[in-house]
Amino acid sequence: MKKVLFSLFIAASFTLSAQKATAVVTANGILASSTFMKANAKNVKSQKTFVDNAKLPQELSNISDFSKKSVITIVLKDDYYDKISLADMNLQNNLDANNPVMYDGMKITNTSVIIYGDVMQDIQVKTIDGKKVLNISSTPKS
């Protein structure tokens, strides 16, 4: 009986950790990633975490539309990174500018959101629910 309970406990803990949500990261109000934040740690001036979207500052209201998770905001000392709007990314991939974009599994309908070029590790056009959608991942394709 102990072995069965132990096995169930282990399986449940793996399931819960697999479903653990990662936070949305923004730097100076621009969509970033935890990898970007770690890689540029020396350039981070400050960091704040918002667990509740209702408490996000007004300048991050476009993030609350798709963030079902916590939001980590960082302020950079120097902001010399390449940036692009999701609308422009759609156009570069021969899609309508207002087409929703998938970013790390999150559907973003507000394509005025700006993203750092450094965080886009894998970019593909995929068909989701019969519609072509730009899929951006912040982790390299394995």
pLDDT of residue 106 exceeding 80, the answer is: yes
Q: Residue 84 falls within a domain, yes or no?
A: yes
Q: Residue 102 falls within a domain, yes or no?
A: yes
Q: Residue 96 falls within a domain, yes or no?
A: yes
Q: Which domain range does residue 83 map to? A: 19-137
Q: Residue 14 falls within a domain, yes or no?
A: no
- Cβ atoms within 10 A of the Cβ of 120, count? 17
pTM: 0.78
CB 55 within 8 A of CB 49: no
Mean of the pLDDT values across residues 117-140?
Answer: 92
Q: Using CA atoms, how far apart are residues 33 and 120, in angstroms rounded to an integer?
A: 9
**Number of structural domains the chain divides into:** 1
Is the model more confident about 86 or about 24? 86
Is the model more confident about 10 or about 134? 134
pLDDT of residue 124 exceeding 90, the answer is: yes
CB 48 within 8 A of CB 72: yes
Tell me how far the alpha carbon of residue 21 is from its chain's centroid: 11
Q: Residue 83 falls within a domain, yes or no?
A: yes
Q: Could you tell me the pLDDT band of residue 142, with boundaries at 50, 70 and 90? A: low
Q: Residue 4 falls within a domain, yes or no?
A: no
The pair of three-digit structure tokens given for residue 47, joined into one six-digit string: 């960091």
Q: Residue 12 falls within a domain, yes or no?
A: no
The pLDDT tens digits of the residues spanning 30-65 come to 999 989 999 999 999 999 988 877 777 777 777 766
Q: Residue 52 falls within a domain, yes or no?
A: yes
pLDDT of residue 107 exceeding 60, the answer is: yes
pLDDT computed for residue 65 by the predictor: 65
pLDDT computed for residue 88 by the predictor: 97
pLDDT computed for residue 111 by the predictor: 93
Mean of the pLDDT values across residues 132-142?
Answer: 88
